[in-house]
Structure 1
Amino acid sequence: MATAEPREKPCVDAALTTPVREGGQDAWTRFEGVSIAIGHYVRMAHEGRMSREEAWRAIGEYNAAMIRPNWPEDRLWVEYERLWSLHIARNGPPLIRNDGAPAAREIATFTLGALLDDGTPMPDDIIGPRVLTPGGMLVLGGAPKVGKSDLVISWLVHMAAGVPFLGFTPPRPLRVFYLQAEIQYHYLRERMQQIGLPPEVMAAARENLVVTPKLKLLLDEGGSALVAQAIQQAFPAEPVDILCIDPIRNLFDGGPDGGGENDNAAMMFFLKDRVEVLRDHVNPDCGIILIHHTKKLSKHQVKEDPFLALSGASALRGFYTSGLILHRPDEDASERKLEIELRNGPALPSKLIDKVRGQWVEINPMNERLVRAEVGAKHDAERMRKNDVILCLLYEEARRGKLYTFAQFSEAFENTGGLGGRTIVHDRLSVLATKGKVKFIRGPAATRIGLAAERSKYGYLCVEGMLLGTGGETVDPDTGEVTPELIPALPSHYKCPQTGAVLPVENPSVWVYQEEDEA
């Protein structure tokens, strides 16, 4: 006895465009066609690509155009509700597009005259000046371990407290949801407790900043629905102002084709079908901050266009409204540079920043060397080395019973330890004396410790903690150990940093550095 071969299930495109008649006359039944169509539009609504009302209208249009004769509307509705409930049970809460969001097919147009005549006030910046605007997207990029997350945490705390940060100003305390996927709970807690901000700032931000511990999910259909639900639970009364995603890489969903960050199509899918749909659901006007890694570029490339360092597809750069790059101009220095690119406002200069006593601060760019910075830094290091060599020589020579005047030391140690010629040594000594690191013993103070009377302007050179060898010996009464006899060599005069005059020291036992005294 022959058996009927099982029919293949039609694809969605074929089912949506092929009429189906009753009585099994076609390749599939009316029930199969309706089920495929309803399932397709249920998925679209669940992913937030259309509202439930739009999905129901599309199902009705399919029924009217392709099902012959049409299914009764009440039966169609029952099947729609059944499949919707089943899909929710299997895939979690839906990410439903706001009913107030404009349909994708509605394109707004304005004449030049309308734009010129519109005098309504501009909307307030979420973060001014034009750094993050309503409905805007900001991307902050930086290399691993450069301090992105630490900077972002401090920034978001300030925004939640309504306090300016590095010149970035919120109009009021903002509601911030920080979706971070790198730091586990206990280490996140530790980092938050170590923020070195004033207590009043922390108090103002306590309820306005909501943070997730390390997440193990992708921002796909299910993940987006969970995040939307978490945001609405965190801010039930008022909509969120800022949604920060840190980092993109840990939450990236490239869509059905499974593309990565380097795929332009996958990046556009993530930005438009995941991030923007999520934004439309929680608050179409909220600002998005995306934290992203950068690839390695040469210093010349960073100087020419630092935003080329953003990892992955170029589609990202064409999509955001503001871009920030955090990098170290000098790997051996603690300062970072924040490069800024704005699409919705005038250009902002880059900022030189550093973390001082637990707080991020902006450094005056006038203090930054602009010309041949690397060469200048090497010269600075060499000068510091020579200073250390001179101080060590003075200390060690004193223990041998030898003290020197300016001229005698410059001549005696010319080209010693890489100090250079006599003039260079003399100049270094002069700088050290002005800064208070070298002082002098002259007059009665010199004769009291057995030094010959000197005729120089300054006297004998003296450094902090100096001990003078007398040539005698001391014997330890307990151990019998014999050691050279050393007596303290205390300064009697110092060089005035303002006039260069030689002035008496007020208290020889207290060493004062002029730099600290002036500070």
Structure 2
Amino acid sequence: MWEDKETTAPDPSVAPDGEQPSALARTDSIATFEETNKQFGKMRIFSMPELMDTHFPSRPCIIENLLPAGTYLLAGAPKIGKSFLVLQMAYQVSAGEPFLGFPTRQGTVLYLALEDTYERLQKRLAQMTERDSPDLVLSVLADTLEEDLLEHLENFLFEYPETVLVIIDTLQRIRGRMPDNGSYAVDYDTIAKLKAFSDQRGIALLLVHHTRKEGAEDVFDTISGTNGILGAADGALVLHKDKRTSGDAILDVVGRDQPQMRLHLHFDSPHSLWQATEVETEPFREPPNPLLEFLSRLVNEENPLWSGTATELVQCLSEMDSAQVISPNWIVRTLNVRQDDLLRKYGIRYGSRRTKDGKVILLRWEGVR
């Protein structure tokens, strides 16, 4: 029987410097701390050896190299094509189709189009595709954060457990009338609440927002509001044009969990679709990891399950290639850090559990999506 019982960190509050904890995938169990971890108030501390030995739940990537799990902004000037872009994203993720050429993780998508009508959404989708996606769910109404929006989103995720992406168009529509609106603290607190929600549930939350009229040397400084908005978010995508009437645009991307990129886009008006014509900054592609390559030979469709200690795994791998010198400690550290690559590229899910004899590694083949 497969069982994941990891030593994981609970989701702490968002730090004032903007650094955020990793998202916790809702499909993985969230175990409590072992007694060896000390606690001082809200501080739960790790020594470096404890940290490196900890198996955190996987943080899935919704759009490879473009949108990991977490909370992100999509900003741009009014009427520049943001809503077309996010509707296209919502449909293509829900259908498992590539978005702007990037592979997607198929799942349910909730699109809150709070500045649109159902008739307009129907027209745009009819132009965009002839194939329906039952996993795309849309609404043009939603409560504000003051009106328990997060509780309603929680109920939605209970009804639709395969949800991977929630798009809110626009951020301002759910903020409501907040005192001291425009202050750093208020901006930061708003995004921090949404980020804590997305992190705890392992989904991507995309907030559509506006840019200011004033330009800036750094395009991300044009995002409307204080630095608290971008500081609390995991990253941002900014859509901008040289001329409003142009069918060409640039999408700049920055974030904690993906490389900074610039995409050149062109809008296909007859089909209401954005197309990537050039990726100016190619994402960094790491060379194949020898351990992951070995594991793909050990765990696959013919041999879908493997469990044992790190020492036993070393023995299995040395039988495959005696020239490789691999330590149990290196195996555990590599699996903890590279588990997302192991699942995405090789279709192998990594888990672990504690027994009286020590830590047992669990590997299960799920197939590459």
TM over 0.5: same fold?
yes
Of 156, 160, 170, the match for 2:90: 156
- Assess, with a 3 A threshold, how the Cα gap between structure 1 residues 180 and 140 changes in structure 2: closer, same or farther: same
Cα 1:339–1:106 shift into 2, 3 Å? same
Partner of 2:299: none
Secondary structure in 1 aligned to 2:92? helix
| Contact 1:178 1:211 survives alignment (8 Å) | yes
Shift of 1:232: 3.3
Asked whether the equivalents of residues 254 and 266 of structure 1 are also in contact (C-alpha less than 8 Å), the reply is no
The answer as to 2:289 corresponding to 1:363 is no
- What's 1:87 paired with? none
| Letter in structure 2 aligned against 1:132 | L
The CA deviation at 1:185 is 2.0
What is the correspondence of 1:102-117 to structure 2 with a 5 Å cutoff?
Answer: 106-116=42-52
The letter for the 1-side match of 2:186 is A
What CA distance in whole angstroms lies between the structure 1 residues aligned with 2:57 and 2:192?
29
Question: Aligned to 2:229, what secondary structure does the other structure show?
Answer: helix
Superposed, 1:280-299 pairs within 5 Å as 284-298=201-215
User: Residues 108, 347 of structure 1: CA spacing in aligned structure 2 closer, same or farther, 3 A cutoff?
Assistant: farther
Contact 1:185 1:214 in 2 (8 A): no
Structure 2 vs 1, CA of residues 102 and 279 (structure 1 numbering), >3 Å: closer, same or farther? farther
Query: Does structure 2 conserve the Cα–Cα contact (< 8 Å) formed by 1:160 and 1:208?
Result: yes
**What's the secondary structure of 1:166's corresponding residue?**
coil
2:250 matches 1:337: yes
1:310 aligns with 2:227: no
Partner of 1:169: 103
C-alpha distance in 2, partners of 1:222/1:113?
A: 41
Instruction: Give the number of the structure whose alpha-carbon radius of gyration is greater.
Output: 1
- Matched residue, 1:126: 62
Q: Which residue pairs with 2:139 in the alignment? A: 212
Asked whether the 8 Å contact 1:181–1:246 carries over to 2, the reply is: yes
* 8 Å contact kept, 2:188–2:231: no
Change (3 A) 1:191 1:332: closer
Tell me the distance in 1 between the aligned counterparts of 2:276 and 2:117. 29
Distance (Å, rounded) in 1 between the aligned partners of 2:110 and 2:121: 15
Structure 1 residue 278 displacement after superposition:
4.6
More helix per residue: 1
Q: Give the Cα–Cα distance (whole angstroms) in 1 for the partners of residues 244 and 189 of structure 2.
A: 36
Taking structure 2 as the reference length, what is the TM-score of the superposition? 0.58
How far does residue 158 in structure 1 lie from its aligned partner after superposition? 0.8
Could you tell me whether the CA contact under 8 Å between 2:248 and 2:264 is conserved in 1?
yes
Change in Cα spacing, 1:101 to 1:122, as seen in structure 2 (3 Å) is closer
Residue identity in the other structure for 1:222:
D
- Distance of aligned partners of 1:193 and 1:265 in 2 relative to their CA distance in 1, 3 Å threshold: same
Distance apart, 1:221 and its partner CA: 3.7
The aligned runs of 1:319-398 (5 Å cut-off) are 319-348=232-261, 350-356=262-268, 357-358=270-271, 359-364=273-278
SS in 1 for 2:209: strand
Alpha-carbon separation, structure 2, partners of 1:184 and 1:331: 24
The equivalent of 1:493 in structure 2 is none
Q: CA deviation at 1:259?
A: 2.8
Tell me the alpha carbon deviations over residues 355-395 of structure 1, each in whole angstroms, 9 at most, x when there is no partner: 224232112479xxxxxxxxxxxxxxxxxxxxxxxxxxxxx
| Partner residue in 1 for 2:115 | 182
Partner amino acid for 1:264?
Y
- Over aligned residue pairs, what C-alpha RMSD do you find? 3.2
Q: Kindly indicate whether the alpha-carbon contact (under 8 Å) linking 2:241 and 2:250 is maintained by their aligned counterparts in 1.
A: yes
* C-alpha distance in structure 2 between counterparts of 1:363 and 1:308, whole Å: 25
Matches within 5 A, 1:20-59: none
CA offset at residue 239 of structure 1?
4.3
CA shift, 1:330, in A, is 3.2
Percent identity of equivalent pairs: 25
Query: Secondary structure at the residue paired with 2:259?
Result: coil
Contact 2:184 2:228 in 1 (8 A): yes
The DSSP-based 3-state class of the residue aligned with 1:188 is helix
Given that residues 352 and 363 in structure 1 are in contact (C-alpha distance below 8 angstroms), is that contact kept between their aligned partners in structure 2? yes
SS of the equivalent of 2:207 reads: strand
Q: Given that residues 254 and 269 in structure 1 are in contact (C-alpha distance below 8 angstroms), is that contact kept between their aligned partners in structure 2?
A: no
Matched residue type, 1:248:
L
Using the alignment, how far apart are the partners of 2:92 and 2:251 within structure 1?
17
Q: Secondary structure at the match of 2:104?
A: coil
1:31 — aligned with what?
none
Question: For residues 225 and 122 of structure 1, what CA distance do their matches in structure 2 show?
Answer: 24
Cα distance per residue 1:134-173 (max 9 Å; x no partner): 3x111100000000000110011111111111133223x1
| Uncovered stretches (5+) of structure 1, i.e. residues with no partner | 1-98, 367-519
1:120-519 equivalence runs, <5 A: 123-129=59-65, 131-134=66-69, 136-171=70-105, 173-195=106-128, 197=129, 199=130, 202-203=131-132, 206-215=133-142, 217-233=143-159, 235=160, 238-253=161-176, 258-260=179-181, 262-273=182-193, 275-276=194-195, 278-279=197-198, 284-298=201-215, 301=216, 304-348=217-261, 350-356=262-268, 357-358=270-271, 359-364=273-278
State the secondary structure of the residue aligned to 1:126. strand
For 1:52-71, what aligned pairs fall within 5 Å after superposition? none
1:94 maps to what in 2? none
